């Protein structure tokens, strides 16, 4: 089902590349163009067939009817400003960043015409990076959160459903608060846990530690941007986590078997309920 004629993806890495593959697989567009910073990345994307064509110039968005901003958060806000006066009047612009409030503020500031900007966050990804790891099925059976100032755009809702996502709409502030606790803080904890292990202990690390810290191998630039962009809510969530950690530490310190068991059981029950 063709939803768009020309889609331009700015930032063809893991997410952008996977999206390109999914769009082509589902035949949602006549043409997918990728915007690249280097010839090497373009050649990798072309080899993976994530795009039909490549460009090194943002002016290729002029006749697009969908532009996808898929870089790190800072890059997304910078690109909003750069393409605002390049896109045609009927173009829809979306992003796939992991924070939303500042991105939407940037869109409201720079996109003045009839263009529609929709903040999107597909809750899918890997700790790996780059278009070489792109997967057309990455978004299957995942959630995509859609945030926009006005009523969510029906065409974009349909787009994500065709990609394989279940769409949930909410305001940007709620999105950022939820993701601070469910995504951003887990990455902080994984970084801290890995950094706490002395080098001579590494040879003794087993599957439990590896499973717990898998996301510590995530992209540096991406997560540096996310944590600083959403820092106040991340810090609030870290304080909440600290309170939970203190309760466990207190029960252990006092040899309080009953309290410790309750806390473990509560976590186990909640974790088992996850889909």
Tell me how far the alpha carbon of residue 203 is from its chain's centroid: 32
- Whether 19 and 95 have beta carbons less than 8 Å apart is answered as no
Tell me the pLDDT of the chain averaged across its residues: 94
What are the tens digits of pLDDT across the range 71-114? 999 999 999 999 999 999 889 999 999 999 999 999 999 987 66
Q: Which has the higher per-residue pLDDT, 151 or 214? A: 214
For 155, residues 6+ apart whose C-beta sits below 8 A from its C-beta are: 3, 92
For the chain, which residues make up each domain, given as ranges? 4-170, 174-273
Model confidence, pTM: 0.92
150, 146, 145: which is closest to 116 by C-alpha? 150
Provide the CATH number for the domain formed by 174-273 in this structure.
1.10.3660.10
Side-chain half-sphere exposure of 274, counting CA atoms within 13 A: 6
For residue range 8-38, list pLDDT tens digits in order.
999 999 999 999 999 999 999 999 999 999 9
- Whether the pLDDT of residue 221 is over 80: the answer is yes
| Phi-psi label, residue 274: left if phi above 0, alpha if psi -120 to 50, beta otherwise | beta
pLDDT at 253 over 70: yes
What phi, psi does 10 have (nearest 5°)? -100, 105
- In this structure, what token pair is assigned to residue 14? 């893991």
Q: At what angle do helices 220-229 and 231-253 cross, to 10 degrees?
A: 90
Domain 4-170 listed as CATH 3.10.20.740: no
Q: What is the mean pLDDT of residues 196-205?
A: 96
Q: Which secondary structure element, helix H or strand E, spans residue 162, and what is its range?
A: helix 154-163
């Amino acid at each position: 089902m063709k939803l768009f004629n020309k889609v331009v993806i700015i930032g063809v890495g893991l997410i952008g590349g996977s999206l390109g593959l999914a769009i082509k697989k589902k035949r949602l567009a006549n043409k997918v163009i990728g915007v690249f910073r280097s010839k090497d990345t373009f050649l990798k994307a072309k080899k993976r067939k994530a795009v039909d064509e490549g460009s090194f110039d943002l002016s290729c968005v002029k006749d697009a009817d969908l532009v996808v901003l898929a870089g790190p958060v800072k890059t997304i806000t910078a690109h909003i400003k750069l393409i605002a006066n390049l896109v045609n009047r009927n173009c829809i612009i979306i992003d796939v960043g992991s924070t939303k409030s500042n991105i939407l503020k940037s869109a409201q500031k720079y996109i003045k015409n009839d263009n529609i900007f929709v903040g999107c966050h597909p809750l899918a990804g890997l700790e790996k990076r780059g278009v070489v790891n792109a997967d057309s099925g990455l978004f299957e059976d995942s959630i995509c959160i859609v945030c926009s100032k006005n009523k969510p755009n029906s065409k974009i809702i349909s787009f994500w459903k065709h990609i394989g996502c279940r769409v949930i709409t909410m305001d940007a502030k709620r999105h950022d608060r939820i993701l601070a606790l469910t995504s951003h803080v887990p990455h902080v904890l994984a970084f801290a846990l890995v950094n706490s292990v002395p080098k001579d202990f590494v040879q003794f690390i087993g599957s439990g530690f590896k499973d717990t810290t898998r996301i510590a191998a995530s992209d540096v630039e991406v997560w540096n941007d996310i944590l600083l962009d959403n820092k106040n809510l991340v810090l609030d969530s870290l304080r909440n986590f600290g309170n939970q950690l203190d309760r466990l530490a207190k029960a252990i310190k006092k040899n309080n078997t009953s309290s410790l068991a309750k806390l473990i059981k509560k976590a186990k029950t909640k974790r088992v309920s996850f889909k």
